[in-house]
Amino acid sequence: MTQSQEDYLEMVSFLSDEGRVRVTDIAARLGFSKPSVLTALKLLEEKALIRHERYGSVSLTQKGRELAGEIRERHVLIKEFLGKKLGVNEETAEKDACKMEHVLSEETFEKLKSFMNSRNHKT
């Protein structure tokens, strides 16, 4: 999956927490046009990660929920590390976590998770 596709999947997941997800909501949050969002959603639908009813709502499939959960876990953990452990301001931590979540190796992410869960390093 591309970084862009992961961002769309993550956004559908976040918006799902708030209720019904519409193309206009995704477009507004990500700052993209509705046609661009529709193109991206079609690709996610082809990968069986979402369901999109024409002119209706967008929802995650089970596979999509699992993958979105993994992406969100990475995002939250990295943002927490940057903000709480390194003292990066919240806005910068959010932006940086958004970028870093896509490029960290599994090994680095697991080490970071272990570090953050360690009793010796909790805030």
CATH code assigned at 95:
1.10.60
Quick: pLDDT tens for 90-103.
999 999 999 999 89
My answer on whether 14 and 61 are in the same domain is: yes
pLDDT at residue 120 greater than cutoff 70 = no
Which pLDDT does position 54 carry in this prediction? 85
User: Is the sign of the CA dihedral 67, 22, 51, 19 positive or negative?
Assistant: positive
Segment 64-78 mean pLDDT = 95
Half-sphere exposure of 10 (CA within 13 A, CB side): 21
The confidence band for 80, taking pLDDT boundaries of 50, 70 and 90, is very high
**Is 13 in the same domain as 39?**
yes
Question: The whole model's pTM is what?
Answer: 0.83
Band of pLDDT at residue 55, cut at 50, 70 and 90: confident
Give the domain-ending residue among 40, 66, 92.
66
Q: Are residues 7 and 62 in the same domain?
A: yes
The pLDDT of residue 88 is above 90: yes
79 and 61 fall within a common domain: no
> Domain containing 24 — which CATH number?
1.10.10.10
Number of domains in the chain: 2
Domain range enclosing 45? 3-66
3-state helix, strand, coil in the chain (%, to 5): 70, 5, 25
Residues 48 and 91 grouped into a single domain: no
Same domain, 98 and 80: yes
> Which pLDDT does position 122 carry in this prediction?
53
Residues 37, 76, single domain; the answer is no
pLDDT at 11 over 60: yes
